[in-house]
Structure 1
Amino acid sequence: MQNSTHNELSQKLSLYFVAGTMNCESPDAFKKIVAEAINGGITTFQYREKGENAVTGQKQVEMAMYAKEMCKAKDVLFIVNDDLELMKAVDADGLHVGQSDGNLDTIREETKGKILGISAHTLAEAKDAEARGADYIGVGPIFATSTKPDAEEPVGTGIFHELRNSGISLPLVAIGGLSVENTFETISAGADGAAIISAITLSEDPKQASQKLLSTILQAKRG
């Protein structure tokens, strides 16, 4: 990717909403929250259907297609988490995988023409992700999070300075424990985007929460 494409993707990753039906009270609630978040200004949506009470099979495809069509209507990037076949089935904009979600070289080959995001917890993992052809890196967890029980120890916002000083130029999305209260400092520290789950899914007003988060992120980006 050229720098101009990096910059364009950096903007599209600004407010990166992650959710599945298990983050909501029901599949219908999921649909409502996704619609409200999109109307509130999220710039990327990642469909992550994992864990207890996650829907499977045709229901999962249905939820993914609903989210994809909503995203498409508002020019929001639609990413599928760690499910290559689902990504292909719904023709998503891209795929996001973790370090242990399969052979990264094979995954890159299978996602040609799509956006590939790879999670990294350390500088070494980030360099590896860049070398294997990632289009952006999900960095974290930045703060403690209860959304992902098996999450590693928080690395803090200082990691962005470390990654940039080491020559990594890919867009960086902060993952883990992000909220309205700590998003400004995270973007100011060098993150291009903030991955949000509970600050939107648990909000009484997902649209308003998304608007506030986006405003905070854009303010931090302006410096």
Structure 2
Amino acid sequence: MLRFKALALAAVPIVAAAMIVPQSTVLAQAASPLTAVAAHLRAVNTMTASFSQTDRRGQTLTGTFTLKRPGKIRFQYQPDVQMLIVADGKKLHMVDYETKRDDDWPIGNSPLGVLLDPNPNLSRIAKVVRSDSQTLLVQAKDPKRPQYGTVTLGFARVASAPAGLLLQGWTVVDAQNNRTTVKLTNQRFNVPVADSAFTYRRPK
């Protein structure tokens, strides 16, 4: 169960993505990096993608990723993995159907909280790790709550993406220094997503 409790994002090569983009998109190249990330988060109401998740031991799992702001997210793993991660707007749930456990905690206590908040205070919790004409890496960590871990978000600079940024993945390092990396493909932005996508069957 613990090996799933860190979800990570890393920069990967630019990939083609189907997306619906607001007409008010602001190009990331014209803004400071943190301002561009904040603009991206404000521009994305929903997102779907395929993901691959690699843990510190090199084990890789795949599945589908769904996000709806504020506060809703779902990681649906490949069929042979009896595991689900879902946030319902209030709490983030780690559901293990094999052991019949359903652990949860407030969304803000997770490194993924930065993705779920439509208006995060990035100047307080984030710093730019890398910024060039193709890539933007931003590391977020709550200085008052180091136990929640660190997340590094990876974006490609794509003019047609929301606010000129295409979210490609993230890397999470937890308080025990365990690293997990998630890479996204087939990203789609601002497509219809029902709230029912964030319900789940509780283990019996």
TM-score > 0.5 by shorter chain: no
The structure in which a higher percent of residues are helix is 1
The structure in which a higher percent of residues are strand is 2
| TM-score normalised by structure 1 residue count | 0.31
**Highest relative contact order (Cα 8 Å, sep 6+), 1 or 2?**
2
